[in-house]
Amino acid sequence: MEFPSKLIESAVGELSKLPGVGKKTALRLALHLLKAEADTTATLAEALAKMRFEIRYCDTCHNISDTPECSICANQLRDQSTVCVVSDIRDVIAIENTAQYQGMYHVLGGVISPIEGIGPSDLTIDSLVERVTKEGSEIREVILAISPTMEGDTTAFYLSRKLRDLPELNVSTIARGIPMGGELEYADEITLGRSIVERQRQAR
Amino acid sequence: MEFPSKLIESAVGELSKLPGVGKKTALRLALHLLKAEADTTATLAEALAKMRFEIRYCDTCHNISDTPECSICANQLRDQSTVCVVSDIRDVIAIENTAQYQGMYHVLGGVISPIEGIGPSDLTIDSLVERVTKEGSEIREVILAISPTMEGDTTAFYLSRKLRDLPELNVSTIARGIPMGGELEYADEITLGRSIVERQRQAR
Ligand SMILES: [Zn+2]
Ligand SMILES: [Zn+2]
């Protein structure tokens, strides 16, 4: 595609690096910004840069946070005895939006994937084990809320093995209301909420 | 949707103001940027701001440009006697990509739309008439390459009336290979290219 301006060519080039944004969509977005108030672009550019450069991750659960301890971990009204393990920040947001869960989280940062070269040490698994086993831990249950894909199941299996020396700890998985092979984040809120409420004990 | 961070909430909010980008897509884009190198976000934010604040419009044809005269107007190898009138910059890019047209352009900046409150004076119509009528003008033909929607047809009709006192001037419209009611920018390159080559004299 030829552009009459290097400035727009560069903007379209950068926009089309975003997932799901082709050249035509990128051009549409760029021209939209050109037509809109200059402020719209300034605010967008600033919000993106600010997010990327100022974001933090919670020291405890690895959720995104504006502070060293995220608002969920800091909330004393939540159930400190239950930890919901998810692969991704998106999943925290999806589960929070069901309003069916009042416990804590642990964000793995992905799933075990030999094909993509992601091993257990690339995830926050040691940090989870440490949370659960450390002196005075209140954690009584770990819910594995990992997408039921092959890689997700591998990760859940690995985690349940890691945790099986803790007989006091209940390890459950979210109910398989979610279709096999489906991505957790695409589930509607009712299905996802129910799958948390009807969670099942993980076989181990 | 609840977010664990004001920074991400603000980024998602700004992204979802873009056309065709809902909250879920915006979140996906934001999380993609968080996972990618910080440089990706910095380059994107800078390219958008630079585009918006440094872009110019060609003094002659109102196409986007990095300089007062755009690269098409400045190109002496192009046919100075033919001006293709389009509503939008997107259409210039679409027609250029057919590689079927070697003349000049004139970007109206929209179409006449009483519903949206866009009248002839909101478009660059006077500038077009001035280009065509000014002393020493080489322009012999004006091609109306406006999407064949109701508003596009109104605009084309208005223009052909404006230009009918110039008997030396040929006024044509692109061939209706484009389906009625279709948007010009969505046409495939072959259909659009042919509609330029087989343009028809505008009835007036
Ligand atoms: Zn936390
Ligand atoms: Zn120009």
Q: Long-range contact list for A12-17, CB < 8 A, 24+ apart?
A: A13/B47, A14/B43, A14/B44, A14/B47, A14/B48, A15/B44, A15/B48, A17/B40, A17/B44
Measured between CA atoms, how close is B106 to chain A, in angstroms?
A: 13
Task: Quote the pTM value.
Answer: 0.74
Tell me which chain A residue has its CA closest to the CA of residue B14: A44
What pLDDT, on a 0 to 100 scale, did the predictor assign at position A202? 72
CA B122 / ligand 2 centre spacing (Å): 19
Q: What is the CATH number of domain B6-54?
A: 1.10.8.420
Give the pair of three-digit tokens for residue B172. 């044509």
CB B146 within 8 A of CB B86: yes
Give dist(CA A108, CA A102) in Å, integer.
19
Q: What is the mean pLDDT of chain B?
A: 89
Those residues whose C-beta lies under 8 Å from the C-beta of residue B106, and which sit 6 or more positions away, are B61, B62, B83, B84, B85, B86, B124, B127, B128, B131, B142
**Encoding tokens for residue B138?**
């080489």
pLDDT value at residue A77: 95
Say what the ipTM of the complex is.
0.76
- Residue of chain B whose Cα is closest to the Cα of A74: B4
As a whole number, mean pLDDT of residues B174-187 equals 69
| B77 CA → ligand 2 middle, Å | 14
Q: What integer pLDDT is reported at residue B178 of this predicted model?
A: 61
CA distance B100 to chain A (A): 14
For chain A, give every residue range classified as CATH 1.10.8.420. Answer: 6-54
Structure tokens at A11: 């903007």
8 Å CB contact of B44 and A19: no
Alpha-carbon distances, residue A68 vs A102, A105, A192, B136, B164 (angstroms): 21, 15, 29, 70, 71
Which site among A18, A39, A70, A118 would you substitute to test the B interface, given the most B Cβ atoms closer than 10 Å to its Cβ?
A18
* Cβ contacts from A onto B, under 8 A: 180
Partner B contacted by A63 (CB < 8 A) = yes
Q: B83-101, pLDDT tens digit by residue? A: 999 999 989 988 888 888 9
Closest C-alpha among B134, B132, B150, B133 to residue B142 = B132
Q: B63 and A4 in contact (C-beta within 8 Å)? A: yes
Residue A73 has pLDDT above 90, yes or no: yes
How do A170-173 and A103-107 pair as beta strands?
unpaired
pLDDT the model gives residue B28: 92
The model's confidence at residue B3, banded by pLDDT at 50, 70 and 90, is confident
- Are A7 and B89 a contacting pair at CB < 8 A? no
Please say whether the beta carbons of B177 and B195 come within 8 A.
yes
The CATH architecture one would assign to domain B79-173 is 3-Layer(aba) Sandwich (3.40)
pLDDT one-digit tens code per residue, A80-126: 999 999 999 989 988 888 888 999 999 999 999 999 999 999 999 99
Start and end residues for every CATH 3.40.1360.10 domain found in chain B: 79-173
Interface membership of B200 toward A (CB under 8 Å): no
Is B102 near chain A, with CB under 8 Å?
no
Asked whether the predicted pLDDT for residue B189 surpasses 70, the reply is yes
The C-alpha of A130 sits at a distance from chain B's nearest C-alpha, in angstroms, of 23
